[in-house]
Amino acid sequence: MNLWVLIGVLAPWLAGMAIVRTRRAGLAGLLLTLGGGWLVGQILLFLLLFAMLRLTGASLAGLVSGLSLLIAVAVTILRRDKSASNPNRAMSTFAGTGRTGGVVVVLAALFAISLGAKLLGIVPGLSTVTIRDDDATTFWLFKAKVIAESDHLSFDKDDPYYLGGANPQYPVYLPLCAAYLPLMKGGWSETLATFPWFGFFVATPLTILGALRLRLGAWPPALIAAYFVMSLPLASVHAYRPGYADMPMAAFLAAAVCFMLMAQMSERRIHNIVVALVLLIGAGVMKREGHVLAAVVAAVMLAPEVLSAFRRSATEAWRLVAALAIAIVVVFALVDNDDVVSDVSQLGWHGEAITSLANHAFGWASFNLAFWLAPAAIIVVALSPKAVMRWRALALTGALLAVDVCVFTLTKEYVFALNDQTPSRLFLQILPTIIVALAVPVTTALDRRESSTNASPDAGATS
């Protein structure tokens, strides 16, 4: 591998890891740092690249790498005394029962074998097969190729390659991530341009695994949730045939919830919430509909944090409000909202899309059994008054599903349900987040029930 490319891979990742690093949290903290660091690094990367292209007219990719490394060093130095918090406040008794050692080994093996087998299919494909899917060549990687080959991003609306060309309504930030390694190499390479998708595919389950292990205090539920997310069949296809924005957006949304879960238990609440907001910025600017889903996650997950912060400390609460306001301003400064406004301004009932949605969710194989298990999980949570984060998880699940259903039953996008083009891709955007959100109340609900059967002490979790 070209040295510049290696630096290009490592620099934003190191910066991201420095930002999200969770010390004294063992293997789970390491996984969270590796996975979350990749995701935050990608956001840092496209923000720096965009700023550089905007300010200087050229990407100066090497300088972006240097700045990333500088950020990594600076954050590490600044946080060296502040990151000694211990986030291991367990909520589950699974880890303490002493009966789960074998289960953990089996689940870890299942996770590792499944991931390894998928990578055996994905990696040769990424390195051998040229880009071949419609939206990838028409929009996302088209823009990336234009930016990488010209080392320029046009902000002139009359330029045929305005914002990378193709449809300017498609945000340019994912293409910037894709263009970065080819820019570091000094020429277009589809293998390098699609490398971020490989990163998103691996980083997402690692982030979920680390965060849920720390939040729940037990490996089995964290491994199951991470395994479910990693083995969603459509996610593998998006890693194998890269160039679509759905999987990266799903990664940012799910990771944002992971860091909000971390914020619930860590002494570094504000820090984790800010990281979550950064990830929501990433999700919000990734696709035209991204900010709608990011707003739903922020509203459901963050509003209670802000309210509880006001009860504790006004300073902390105002900091949170300021961070949220900055995130909103950044997203609206970076995205073109016209398509969403156009959709919302032409509402009408299109019930014929429901059959297609049901088919995508329950009949076809894009999501394994996720949609069959979700109702069971929702019932378990709804019937368990002491389940941790019960209402927030139910509200988040309901709101995300409602957004997707409304997109296809109330807007002109229903035609894409009838021709089967987009329902599964929109479901892919939200399913990892739903799995993460439901994992916490389901685990605590079942755990309490199991604990009461075994007459073990209560976990002492808070709701």
Partner 1 sequence: MMAVGGLLILAGCLFPLLVLMDTGAAWTWDTKTLSDLEGAKINATPKGNTSEGVRLARQGARPVSLISPPLNLAPDVSHIAEVSVALPDAEAPTRQTVYFLWQVRALDADGTPTDAQAYKFDSTQAILGKDPAIVRFPVTVPPDSIHRIGFQFPEADGDVVIRRMAFPSLTMTERLAMAADQWAGREPFEPYSVNFLRGPSILGESAISVLALLIVVAAGFVLLMAGLRRRRLSIVAVIGIIVVVWAIEDARATRNLFENSREEVEQFSKLDQRVDRWARSHRSYEVAWAADLLVENTDPGMRYCVVTNSGDAFMIRHRLAYLVAPKLVETEDCASADLIVVIKSDGARYSPDDQILTLPDDTMIDARPVAQLADHCYILRRNAK
Residues that bind partner 1 (CB under 8 A): 103, 107, 110, 114, 117-118, 120-122, 124-125, 128-135, 137-138, 141-142, 145-146, 149-150, 160-161, 165-166, 224, 227-228, 231, 233-234, 236-238, 240-241, 244, 360, 362-366, 368-369, 372-373, 418-425, 446, 449-450, 453
Nearest to 261 by CA among 216, 311, 315: 216
Which residues lie below 8 Å from residue 257, measured CB to CB, with a gap of 6+? 276, 297, 301, 396, 433, 436, 437
Minimum distance between the CB of residue 256 and partner 1, rounded to whole angstroms? 24
234 in Cβ contact with 428 (< 8 Å): yes
Which residues lie below 8 Å from residue 42, measured CB to CB, with a gap of 6+? 12, 16, 177, 196, 199, 200, 248, 282
Distance linking the first and last C-alpha atoms of the chain: 49
Minimum distance between the CB of residue 188 and partner 1, rounded to whole angstroms? 10
* DSSP secondary structure letters along 179-192: HHHHHHHTS--HHH
- The span from the CA of 20 to the CA of 314, in Å, is 25
Minimum distance between the CB of residue 181 and partner 1, rounded to whole angstroms? 18
CB nearer to partner 1: pick between 136 and 275: 136
- The span from the CA of 359 to the CA of 402, in Å, is 17
Minimum distance between the CB of residue 418 and partner 1, rounded to whole angstroms? 8
CB nearer to partner 1: pick between 160 and 351: 160
CB nearer to partner 1: pick between 168 and 233: 233
Minimum distance between the CB of residue 118 and partner 1, rounded to whole angstroms? 6
- Within the chain, what is the greatest distance between any pair of CA atoms? 72
CB nearer to partner 1: pick between 2 and 421: 421
Buried b (16+ CB within 10 A) or exposed e, 42-66: bbbbbbbbbebbeeeeebbbeebbe
Token digits of residue 76: 């590490």
Minimum distance between the CB of residue 26 and partner 1, rounded to whole angstroms? 24
CB nearer to partner 1: pick between 366 and 433: 366
CB nearer to partner 1: pick between 332 and 362: 362
- The span from the CA of 244 to the CA of 249, in Å, is 10
Tell me the backbone φ, ψ of residue 154, rounded to 5 degrees. -80, 135
20 in Cβ contact with 33 (< 8 Å): yes
- The span from the CA of 438 to the CA of 203, in Å, is 20
Minimum distance between the CB of residue 437 and partner 1, rounded to whole angstroms? 18
The one-letter code for the residue type at 174 is L
CB nearer to partner 1: pick between 135 and 413: 135
Minimum distance between the CB of residue 365 and partner 1, rounded to whole angstroms? 2
